[in-house]
A = this chain, B = another copy of it.
Amino acid sequence: MTAMGFENPVRTRAGRPRSVESRRAILQAAMLILQTQGYRALTIEGVAAKAGVSKQTIYRWWSSAAYIVLEALTSDPLQPPVPDTGGLHDDLLELIRPMVKALGARRGPIMKALIAEAQADARFAETLRTTFMAQHREALHALVGRAQMRGEIGFDADRELTADLVYGPMLYRLLNGHGPLDDAFAHAVTNAAVRMLKSTAGTPRIRAEAAE
């Protein structure tokens, strides 16, 4: 399954086949423009010109520039790892660390662009949520689930809220830029999440009555 705007033709059909070279050139040109000139400058015309491709070819496979960026992101082999170190703290740290690092480096502008676009395009927001975000949340869910099975934390831990507490701060720093996305931050978030999760054990009633 792909994250692009339109379905990929599967069966081999008559006529000139799709140019894989064009596809590559488009993705590459889009990333280059995004990295060097920013999201503002990422236009279909600009990508077409830089890739030496016609606009129509782009529109045939992607419905907007944002989908190109999304595909560039997801087609990258660096998918979220699901570490299994045997301990919640280390599992979480290993999950978070590469993402924090990537967002702090050249993945930052890409992610910013995707989220910005999602605020103005509901269809794209849905795609982004279900393809990219859900993947990471599920990785975390699996990790927390294993900790519950091991008895490290109680079964009453709110996995959805945990995901919010882990990924929220990351996104916040990325988008607001008030602090660095570095290893210290990854450690701090990990510690906070673990402490929060462990303190839940044995005190499920408080949450229940507080949220009434």
Interface residues of A (CB under 8 A from B): 38-40, 112-113, 115-121, 125, 128-129, 133-134, 137, 158, 160-161, 164-165, 167-173, 175-179, 183-184, 187-192, 195-196, 198-200, 206-207, 210-212
Question: With A and B bound together, what is the CA distance between A39 and B210 in angstroms?
Answer: 36
Contact partner of A207 (CB less than 8 A), chosen from B176, B177, B179, B188, is B188
Residues in B neighbouring A192, C-beta threshold 8 A: 161, 165, 196
Chain B residue at smallest Cβ distance from A162: B192
| Contact present for A191 and B178 (CB under 8 Å) | no
Would you list 13 pairs from A and B whose C-beta atoms are within 8 A, ordered by A residue? A39-B119, A115-B119, A116-B116, A118-B175, A133-B178, A158-B188, A160-B179, A168-B173, A169-B169, A171-B176, A184-B211, A188-B207, A190-B210
Closest CB of chain B to A190's CB: distance in Å? Answer: 8
